[in-house]
Amino acid sequence: MVSSSSLGSFLTGYLGAPEVVAAMAERLLKVTASARSGLLRLGELDPVSQNIVIGILAVLEKHLWMIQAQLS
């Protein structure tokens, strides 16, 4: 739900490609930063779950890198 998300709602109306790419990069950056911030604590509680999150982060950060490359 948008109301409980720290990302808020997505931009509305007509958006050009540069605006969409920038918005997606910003959102992916927030998601990966949030996941990374709890990674050490998760490892203390459940190393298996930590490993799963690391795998997910690897994919998200790869996509973040590719999207950010479009902004250059």
pLDDT tens digits, one per residue of 8-39:
788 788 999 999 999 999 999 999 999 999 99
Residue 3 has pLDDT above 60, yes or no: yes
Q: What is the pLDDT of residues 35-72, one digit of tens each?
A: 999 999 999 999 999 999 999 999 999 999 999 999 88
Confidence at residue 6, expressed as pLDDT on a 0 to 100 scale: 77
Q: Give every CB contact of residue 39 below 8 A, 6+ residues apart in sequence.
A: 50, 53, 54, 57
- Going by C-beta distance under 8 Å and a sequence separation of 6 or more, which residues neighbour residue 36? 57
Question: Residue 12: its pLDDT value, please?
Answer: 85
Alpha-carbon distance of 63 to 3, in angstroms, equals 26
Q: The pTM is what?
A: 0.79
At residue 72, the pLDDT reads 80
